[in-house]
Structure 1
Amino acid sequence: MNNVKTITTNDEYTQEVSATGPVAELRGVSKNYDDVQAVKNIDLSIAPGEFLSFLGPSGCGKTTALRMLAGFETPSEGTVLIDSKDVSGFEAYQRPVNMVFQSYALFPHLTVGQNIAYGLKQQRPKLARGVIADKVQRVLETVRLNEFQDRRIWEMSGGQQQRVALARAIVNEPKLLLLDEPLAALDRKLRKEMQIELQDLQRQLGITFVLVTHDQEEALSLSDRICVMRAGEIVQVGTPRDLYDHPQSRYVADFVGTSNFFEGQITTVEGKTGRISLADGETYDAVCSEVMSVGEAACVSIRPEQVRMSSAQAAGSLNVTIQNRIFLGEHTEYLVRHAQLGNIAVMTPRQSDNSLDALQKGDTAWIHWNPDAALILKNT
């Protein structure tokens, strides 16, 4: 048989699988807790070696979806497949899956090496001590903790503990590594560093990573694809660039990045370009994210970095008043107010216009944007 390999994780999970198919699938999966439907009819295919993130607010169903992949929850409806095999009824330990929890769930009474070796010692048939020691040493080198094998967990920093948790998960060479907000407890600087390390580690190992997070920046920086969820449903799946540049709804545009929204009504539609009348009585051309109809209520979405601001008036620009100004080193964030359109966020790079440096709260400025930088979205 072509493109076939054997995956063996324990006595109850050995099969031949296609190396070219999805590593995991959720088919029509729903999860109910009494009268509450936490996940609603999800269909999702996860490719081998990809880094996929579930992104959404608390209570949207992302962790429940992850736990159904892990085997900690059983679907009320639908099927969970790993390597084309239905594992819906399998326990967590029967699946070729490991999970890194937000709390790390490390054993405080064991050393770093003993924590990592714990899962290996549970395998049947038993592994030889030399094999276990060799695997532990290799994974310690992978996460750059080879000098900490005999340290106690409580002697490690937060970032080091996170690496131990990752090492314990990857030492078993799972098909899927599931991460439930593993960076949430770290400070901002360390979280940035660990995001880079996590991405490098995933590329080095080639293991499929599935991350749950409510942090849009984390999802954008780490993921090959992002699955945006809302009220138990998947609203859009795409690459970070697709979701940022081409959101299909106001909800996605608002959750993935920051955006300005101006409500109005469609006046004309020509192909993918629409014209919308806004609260200032003017009409603006913009790209339609979906098929829109004349007379339909909609909104215009414009990213703050797409808004151009100047201290001098130009043709077609809007007069605004500076409400707030925050200098952040590489760029400056402004909150400006237009008499009819309301508050508008503007982000200017440091070298954009030196004349803007003199602007303070209460000063007048002028803004404009290119039509292809604006999106017309449904108000959902």
Structure 2
Amino acid sequence: MGITIQSLNKRYGKKRGITDINLALPKGGLTAIVGPSGCGKTTLLRTLAGFLTADEGRILFGSQDVTHTSPQQRKAAMVFQHYALWPHMSVFDNVAYGLKLQKVAKLDREARVHEVLERVEIDTSDIAVRYPQQYSGGQQQRIALARALVVQPEVLLLDEPLSNLDAKVRQRLRVGIRSIQQSFGITAVYVTHDQEEALSMADYVIVMNEGRVEQAGTPEEIYRQPSTYFTAQFLGESHTLTLHRQGTRQKVVIRSGDSFIESNVEVQRDDEGKQQVREENGHYVLQGTIRHHLFMGSYYRYMVEIESQHIFVDDDALLQAGPCTVKIPCEKAYWFDI
């Protein structure tokens, strides 16, 4: 089922948690909610789950209004950041717990537990005698995912489930979670502070800031067509310059890998000596000075000073400190009025 959110508001006393959220999340897709700490993404997720009650607005799962129903009545399951597995229960009992509450027959319960654990690549030969703490962090998170999936929810909610894992395990589990979500056909909502995670896993991305939705769309739309300054500078390794363009001062957001350095070219300046940004063969041309460089393995990263401001530019070639010209493809420079 799809999820519709209409004029949703949640306050904590006088402080607003989320403000006027209006969204339609795709049926059977994975929606990622991303933003800085305190932006409201977890508040939104917990309101969808029913752990928090909205002050105003409505939440619909499919055609059913679940705004004021209990978490148990929402046909949703939650996967938490800290696994929330019971250490005194075996792996089998942890995963089977929800089925026991649903009074599923013992034989069916056993079959479903084994099936879902195999789907998340957990060996089921000794799950009746092994406990969660005997597994690695990545395995425990897969067990927590199995516990959520075994009850066959119509909505799967995930609250930063990979943030406690190391980088290599996160990479593997991103693929695993996405594959499982697609194979089950579940509508999923995934909260993360990791923008790479959001862009790589999701069908639909919501960028939040200060309790509001800054922008929502496909990963490609969000990254390549940011509609606000916040979205542009939040995504990717981005840097902001304040420059004169077409006679006015504007902010331009540039991502490290989107620009490149060439040999020096004379750049026009205005009467005050300020650099005028000009276009040349589909690029914006800026005069700068290389101050430092870092060897990053497969490329070099240069700190370039432009009008007493600094950006980082990546290039394959090793260049010396000193004057340079930075060229930015026009479609990869994001301009905003000051």
| TM-score between the two structures when normalised by the length of structure 2 | 0.89
Deviations 1:116-140 (A, max 9, x none): 10111001xx211000001001101
State the number of aligned residues: 319
User: Does the alignment pair 1:25 with 2:4?
Assistant: yes
Check the 8 A contact 2:160/2:190 in 1, yes or no: yes
- Aligned pair in 2 of structure 1 residues 181, 365: CA closer, same or farther (>3 Å)? same
Helix, strand or coil at the partner of 2:325: strand
Does 2:21 match 1:42? Answer: yes
Amino acid at match of 2:70: E
Distance 1:58 1:223, change over 3 A: same
SS at match of 2:52: coil
What residue is the counterpart of 1:372 in the other structure? 331
Alignment of structure 1 residues 69-88 onto 2, 5 Å: 69-88=48-67
- Tell me which residue corresponds to 1:332: 300
1:263-322 deviations in Å (ceiling 9; x for gaps) = 246xxxxxxxxx544xxxxxxxxxxxxxxxxx6x53222222221113x33576544333
Equivalent runs, 1:210-221 vs 2, <5 Å: 210-221=189-200
Match of 1:135 among 97, 112, 123: 112
* Offset, 1:145: 0.4
Task: Tell me how far apart the structure 1 counterparts of residues 295 and 199 of structure 2 sit (CA, whole Å).
Answer: 23
One-letter identity of the residue aligned with 2:314: M
Which of 127, 145, 154 pairs up with 1:149? 127
1:1-380 counterparts in 2 under 5 A?
23-123=2-102, 126-147=103-124, 149-150=127-128, 151-264=130-243, 275-277=245-247, 298-310=250-262, 312-314=263-265, 318-338=286-306, 340=307, 342-348=309-315, 350=316, 356-357=317-318, 359=319, 362-379=321-338
Q: Identity percentage over the alignment?
A: 39
Distance across 2 between alignment mates of 1:378 and 1:91: 45
SS of the residue 2:82 aligns to: coil
The alignment yields a C-alpha RMSD, in angstroms, of 1.9
Query: Secondary structure, in 3 states, of the residue corresponding to 2:11?
Result: strand
Q: Distance in 2 between matches of 1:319 and 1:77?
A: 52
Q: 2: CA distance between counterparts of 1:102 and 1:27?
A: 27
Distance in 2 between residues matched to 1:30 and 1:328, nearest whole Å: 45
The answer to whether the 8 Å contact 1:180/1:212 transfers is yes
Offset, 1:223: 1.0
1:376–1:204 CA distance, 2 compared to 1 (3 A): same
> 1: CA distance between counterparts of 2:246 and 2:32?
34
Q: 1:24 to 1:370 in 2, by over 3 A?
A: closer
Q: TM-score, normalised by structure 1?
A: 0.79
Q: Which amino acid in the other structure matches residue 161 of structure 2?
A: P
For 1:378 and 1:93, the matched residues in 2 are separated by 48
User: What amino acid does structure 1 have at the position aligned with 2:264?
Assistant: Q
Give how far 1:324 is off.
Answer: 3.2
**1:152 partner amino acid:** Y
SS class of match (1:369):
strand
Structure 1 residue 258: deviation in Å? 2.2
Which whole-Å CA distance do the structure 2 matches of 1:23 and 1:367 have between them? 46
1:363 CA drift (Å): 4.2
In structure 2, C-alpha distance between the alignment counterparts of 1:238 and 1:378, rounded to whole Å:
23
Q: Which structure 2 residue ranges, 5 or more long, are not aligned?
A: 268-284
Letter in 1 for 2:261: M
Gaps of 5+ in 1: 1-21, 266-274, 278-294, 351-355
Alpha-carbon offset, residue 375 of structure 1: 2.3
> Which amino acid letter does the alignment assign opposite residue 239 of structure 1?
T
Deviation at 1:72, TM superposition (A): 0.3
